[in-house]
Amino acid sequence: MRWLSRASPQAVAGGHSPFLYALAHCLPFALALIVIVIELTPAHFIYTGPLLTATPALAAVTMGPKGTLAAAGVAVGVSITTATYNQAWGSQQVYTNFLAILLVSVASVMTSSATRARREGELNQVRRIAVAAQRVLLRPVPSRLGPVRVASMYLAAETGAQIGGDLYEAVQTRYGVRMIVGDVRGKGLPAVRLAAAVLGAFREAVHYEDDLVEVMNHCAEALRRECAAPSTTDQDDMEVPMEDFVTAVLAELPDGPMVHLVNRGHPAPLLLRQGRVRALSPTTPMPPLGMEDLVGGAPGVRESFPFAPGDRLLLHTDGVIEARNPDNDFFALAQAMEAAHGRTPPEFLDELHQELIRHTNGRLTDDVAMILVDRLDCAESEAAHATEAEVADRTEATVVDGAEAGRGGDEGVRP
């Protein structure tokens, strides 16, 4: 839902104008051009040495070491050209200018290199923090949960970002496998804050609330409390509380061949059965979390759909279906699912990812989150349980043998 809160195109990182940023890059070379104009015209009586000396220093402020070296090379080239044109070789002033340019260039390159190294270190630290935050907020989904196989994927639209406003989770509970996929209105840290609040409420309520609607109501209450809390972000990043909302869909997979859904303004999950896709759209559309005032009473309805062994269920955010190509066409998710129906869950999501990247030419405009679920038949489920039990027995036997070996070794060294 990034289209609901787009930033101004005139703003870039740090709040600086792109025009001023480009102007700062051009300034060192503009100075060199000014020096050439002065020296090759009757105005060459003006002393231009300080302008050339400042060229590499100015480049070091906005460019990296390579840009600084390029500016220094331009300054040296201009000095050679003007000295030759004005027949000034042999004068003390020319050699003084060359020495000043050399010293300033060396200092500028060293400063630019140190600044680049410091910024890269800070960026690497921020990336490590982002990865750690992603692992806490969006934990990897287990490949097997009860009678289903699960795979997940998250793609952040922001360049270099690890997390955004989309959320997902899949948990094994006594009521069956329960999942959530949601999309926070907006972007940046406020969206991450609201996503964390909703996910925290889901992870707590999903284990003790037998009614899936009540789980959704807990998520709505957590969102309401978070929106009412004072924001600790910058004033420019603060969201208006009345505009904060989250679309979400909850899914519950009991032992029987059914899936229960509670949908609050979220794109309908897609069911893939025998190579054909069907949207599990709610019969009673409900507003997103945070917009309960639009309807009377406590909103939320649980609806059930057949989900038999061999079926495949995809929960996704609108970043998938609203992705556009250069011709402004939406991504055909249903057709992409039908084309990849014979693949394993991880391969299936990877195929959808590749198709999405090809469709958008690698330029996502919104975050993407997907959870894929395969219902296993009884034979596959029992075989998987047997394999898990065998692995657990082997692990336990290895631990016991290691402990006995350790005790034997201790006995061997006792006096």
**DSSP codes of every residue in 281-335:** --SS--PPBT-GGGSSSS----EEEE--TT-EEEEE-HHHHT-B-TT-PBP-HHH
Report whether pLDDT(239) > 70: no
Of 144, 166, 141, the C-alpha closest to 156 is 166
What is the mean predicted confidence (pLDDT) over 260-270?
A: 95
Report whether pLDDT(25) > 70: yes
At residue 169, the pLDDT reads 93
What is the rounded distance in angstroms from the CA atom of residue 148 to the CA atom of residue 219? Answer: 25
- What is the token pair recorded at 235? 């004033």
Confidence of residue 180 (pLDDT cuts 50, 70, 90): very high
Higher-confidence position of 20 and 298: 20
Report whether pLDDT(64) > 60: yes
What is the mean predicted confidence (pLDDT) over 154-176?
A: 78
Sheet of 148-155, strands arranged across:
144-145, 148-155, 368-375, 312-316, 270-273, 276-279
Report whether pLDDT(246) > 80: yes
What is the model's pTM? 0.65
Contact yes or no for 178/250 (Cβ under 8 A): yes
Give residue 186's Cα distance to chain centre: 14
- What is the token pair recorded at 129? 């923090």
Return the residue matching tokens 């997103």. 288
Using a 10 angstrom Cβ sphere, with 0-12 exposed, 13-18 middle and 19 or more buried, the burial of residue 202 is buried
What is the rounded distance in angstroms from the CA atom of residue 391 to the CA atom of residue 88? Answer: 85
Confidence of residue 80 (pLDDT cuts 50, 70, 90): confident
Higher-confidence position of 65 and 298: 65
Higher-confidence position of 67 and 43: 67
What is the rounded distance in angstroms from the CA atom of residue 335 to the CA atom of residue 275? Answer: 10
Report whether pLDDT(415) > 90: no
Q: Dihedral (C-alpha) 95, 100, 101, 105: value to the nearest 10 degrees? A: 140
Report whether pLDDT(240) > 80: no
Report whether pLDDT(399) > 50: no
C-alpha neighbours within 13 Å on the C-beta side of residue 23 = 5
Q: Which of 83-87, 118-122, 370-374 has the lowest mean pLDDT?
A: 83-87
What sign does the CA torsion over 66, 69, 70, 71 have?
positive
**For residue 249, what are the β-bridge partners?**
181, 263
Question: Can you give the length of the chain in residues?
Answer: 415
361-370 pLDDT per residue, tens: 888 888 889 9
Report whether pLDDT(378) > 90: no
Confidence of residue 158 (pLDDT cuts 50, 70, 90): low
193-214 pLDDT per residue, tens: 888 899 999 999 999 999 999 9
